[in-house]
Amino acid sequence: MIKDGVISFFLKAYLVVLFIFVFAPIIASVIFSFNSDRFPTIPLGSFSLEWYKLIINDPDIAKAAITSIIVAISSSILATFIGFCTAYSDYRYDFRFKGPYLALALLPPTVPLIIMALAMLAWLSKFGLSGSVLSIVLAHTVLCTPFAMAIIRLRLSQMDTSLEAAAWNLGASEWSAMREIVVPFARPAIISSLCLTAAVSFDEFAVAWFVSGLNKTIPVVILEIVQGNIDPRVNAIGTFVFLTSMTLVIIAQVIFMKNQNKGAVSG
């Protein structure tokens, strides 16, 4: 009979190996971005900021960064708004076809991106919208809304239903109860949702690649560079993107966690 401790040890060691595998490409990309070699190997070349200089002076990348930021901000606001409406409807009401209603809201992540990309391209072209920044915003909003909805729904489930009812009894209209009670209570989730959906949009490349035309976002630029050859600029851009996304994710996490324990009393 093998001791439990030994099994435990091997399982934990395995866990560490798995985490190394998952994080290896991310860490490697950050390291490679400071490495002078075009074809990084072991031993590494010398420390260099060459790739960063190259991308900072590239007007195409600056333009793509601006497009990415515009798209991320617009679609995160739209997705969070629609996500809030849906989460609130689910929280507050029972109605016929609620099952299909929720399915409609939550299904987009189960459709492969490449299929969404083709469908979006064809549909938006039909209305002469493809190739515009707007088309990326519309598509990203669809992809981001389920996440927004899930985060806000999670927060609303912590809200005591009698809180709103109490406000009505005290003479508040439904609208002012929404403004004074529900929105403030959901605020941390709304901010988290804005950050997370912006991060999702900032990293999405398949749909953006199909519908963007000449208005490329950062991931689309990466995709096109990668198609060419081994170009370490990708690592430098990737490190930028990684830092941006991580900042957003950490802000979201901290805000959400901090307010997680504040229940209905303080809401």
Site for another protein in 205-244 (CB under 8 A): 205-206, 210, 219, 222-223, 226, 230, 234-235, 237-238, 241-242
In one-letter notation, the amino acid at residue 107 is L
Question: Is 104 among the residues that bind another protein (CB under 8 A)?
Answer: yes
Q: Report the run of H or E that residue 8 belongs to, with start and end.
A: helix 4-33
Question: Is 138 among the residues that bind another protein (CB under 8 A)?
Answer: yes
At 218 the three-state DSSP class reads helix
- DSSP annotation of 173 reads -
Give the end-to-end CA distance of the chain in Å, rounded to a whole number.
54
Q: Write out the binding residues for another protein, residues 84-103 only, by CB under 8 A.
A: 85-86, 88-89, 92-95, 101
Distance, CA of 79 to CA of 76 (rounded, Å): 5
Q: Write out the binding residues for another protein, residues 48-87 only, by CB under 8 A.
A: 81-82, 85-86
Write down the least CB distance from residue 229 to another protein, Å: 11
| Site residue total, another protein (CB under 8 A) | 86
Question: Is 265 among the residues that bind another protein (CB under 8 A)?
Answer: no
Contact with another protein (CB under 8 A) among 139, 150, 186, 189: 139
Question: Is 114 among the residues that bind another protein (CB under 8 A)?
Answer: yes
Q: Residue 36, class by beta-carbon neighbours within 10 Å (0-12 exposed, 13-18 middle, 19+ buried)? A: middle
Stretch that binds another protein, among 10-18, 57-65, 68-76, 183-191 (CB under 8 A): 10-18
Question: Is 126 among the residues that bind another protein (CB under 8 A)?
Answer: yes
Asked whether the beta carbons of 238 and 203 are under 8 A apart, the reply is no
Stretch that binds another protein, among 7-15, 61-69, 183-191, 258-266 (CB under 8 A): 7-15
Look at residues 222, 241, 211, 199 and name the one whose alpha carbon lies nearest to residue 134. Answer: 211
Contact with another protein (CB under 8 A) among 20, 49, 62, 111: 111
CA angle (119 as vertex; 117, 121 as ends), nearest 5: 65
Question: Is 32 among the residues that bind another protein (CB under 8 A)?
Answer: yes
